[in-house]
Structure formats: structure tokens, C-alpha cells
Amino acid sequence: MKNAPTIFLREMRNYFVSPIAYVALIVFTLLTGYFFAAYFNMATRYEGEANLRMLFHNMSITMLFLAPLITMRLLAEEKKSGTIEVLLTSPVTDAEVVIGKFAASMAMFIIMLILTFLCPLFLMIYGNPDIVPMIVGYLGLILLGGAFMSLGVVTSSLTDNQIVAALISFVMLLGLWVIGWMSTTVGSQVGKILSYISLMEHFDDFSKGVMDTKHVIYYISFTVFCLFLAIKSVQSAKWK
């Protein structure tokens, strides 16, 4: 794994020379700020609770749209320009490439989250919130982000077109987000499976401030599985 940090640093630099990073950061902070202001306003007027539960939900939905934008270029761009040929003939492993790139997208996401720390700060100044649920909520967002980004890395490895990569990744994320809605309509066994697969169902507890290992394990195994697929996909591109 000694080359993963090198690849990570190059990706980070690349994010900040292209407009994508700035657009994602601005859009995410703007929207989060708006959601927070709207809720805060309502909560103070009608004596609501001083927590970020609604906000975490809104942030997760926003991420659903922004995550594909962050991950789309990771491998697709290298495939399009041909730089992947130089990269993969250097003494680096496919895993190092995938992990380095995934880590860069995660770092981007964490920077986005840090910029929203103003919201809990405001809450602490003007209210008296529980700190632990907010920490748990942010932790949940990071785990969710890991799942989003790893899926994005997979779709980016499948095509040399960034738009296609973003679109596939968005459709898949949305599908996995809402798949639980069908759980009551289909049989109880299938329904259980559907709601277990759903990315959204597992996030609910985090937003309430409840940390359950089963959800942690779900997100981590989802991420690891996607990264595994991405590594295999990078390898298999050479087999054809």
C-alpha cells in the first residue's frame, strides 16, 4: 500500500485545480446552511427540539446528488485520456490505485462535512443540544459517504465517460436508497431483505443519535465490497 498515499495526494490536487471541488463544496454548504436555517427558524418559533436529526437527513439526500459528481472522474478520466496505461504499467498494484482514489474522494467528502460544523456550533450557542447524538450523526454521514464514494469508484471504473459514470452511480444510489419502500408490499421475507439492502434504512438510527454496530457493519461491508468490485473491474479491463 505504499503507493496509495502518492495517488491520494495527486487526486486531491486534481480536485482543487478543477472546478468540481469548489462547486461541490459551495453547493453542499449552501444547501446545508439553508436547511439548517429553515429548521432552526421553525424550531425556535414552535419550541422544537434542539437537534440535527432533520438536517442529517437533508444532508444525506444532498450527498446522493453530489457524490457521483465527486467520484465520476476518478477512473473514467484516466481511461479516456489513456493515462491509466502509464499508471498501471508502473510498479503499483490495482488495489493501491483504487484505494488511493477512494481515499481522495472520502477526504473531499470529509472537508465538505467540516464546513457544515457551523450548524452544530450555532445550535450550541443558541440552544442546549446533546453533543453525543450530533457526533453519532456525523459519524453516520461519514459511513454513508464511504458507501456512496465506493459505489462511485466502481461505476467510474466501468466506463471512460464521466457523465455516464455519474449517471449510473446516481441511479444505483437512488435505487438502493428507495428500495426499502417496497418492503411492505412484497412478502415479508423479501421485504426484510429489501429493507436490509436499503442505504436509507440503516441511516435512520444514526440520525437519531443511536449507534448500532449492525449499521456500522452494513456500511463498512458495503464499502469494502464495492472497493473489491472496483479492484476487480480495473483488473478485468485488461483481460479483454
How far is 49 from 122, CA to CA, in rounded Å? 14
Question: According to CB under 8 A, which one of 7, 55, 113, 158 is a site residue for other proteins?
Answer: 7
Question: How many CB atoms neighbour CB 100 within 10 A?
Answer: 22
Residue 23 found at the interface with other proteins (CB under 8 A): no
Residue closer to other proteins (CB basis): 57 or 80: 80
Report in angstroms how near the CB of residue 228 gets to other proteins at its nearest: 20
Q: How far apart are the first and last CA of the chain?
A: 26
How far is 67 from 75, CA to CA, in rounded Å? 15
Question: According to CB under 8 A, which one of 46, 47, 89, 214 is a site residue for other proteins?
Answer: 89
Question: According to CB under 8 A, which one of 55, 87, 154, 166 is a site residue for other proteins?
Answer: 87
Residue 221 found at the interface with other proteins (CB under 8 A): no
| Nearest partner of 237 among 97, 130, 106, judged by Cα | 97
Residue 81 found at the interface with other proteins (CB under 8 A): yes
Question: According to CB under 8 A, which one of 41, 90, 184, 221 is a site residue for other proteins?
Answer: 90
Piece of the chain touching other proteins by CB under 8 A; list 9-17, 49-57, 173-181, 207-215: 9-17
Residue closer to other proteins (CB basis): 62 or 93: 93
**DSSP secondary structure string for all residues of 61-120:** HHHHHHHHHHHTHHHHHHHHHSHHHHHHTSS--HHHHHHHHHHHHHHHHHHHHHHTTHHH
Piece of the chain touching other proteins by CB under 8 A; list 10-18, 44-52, 167-175, 196-204: 10-18
| Nearest partner of 215 among 151, 144, 145, 146, judged by Cα | 144
Q: Which grid cell is 143? A: 459511513
Question: According to CB under 8 A, which one of 88, 95, 107, 164 is a site residue for other proteins?
Answer: 88
Contact residues toward other proteins (CB under 8 A) are 3, 6-7, 10, 13-14, 17-18, 81-93, 238-240
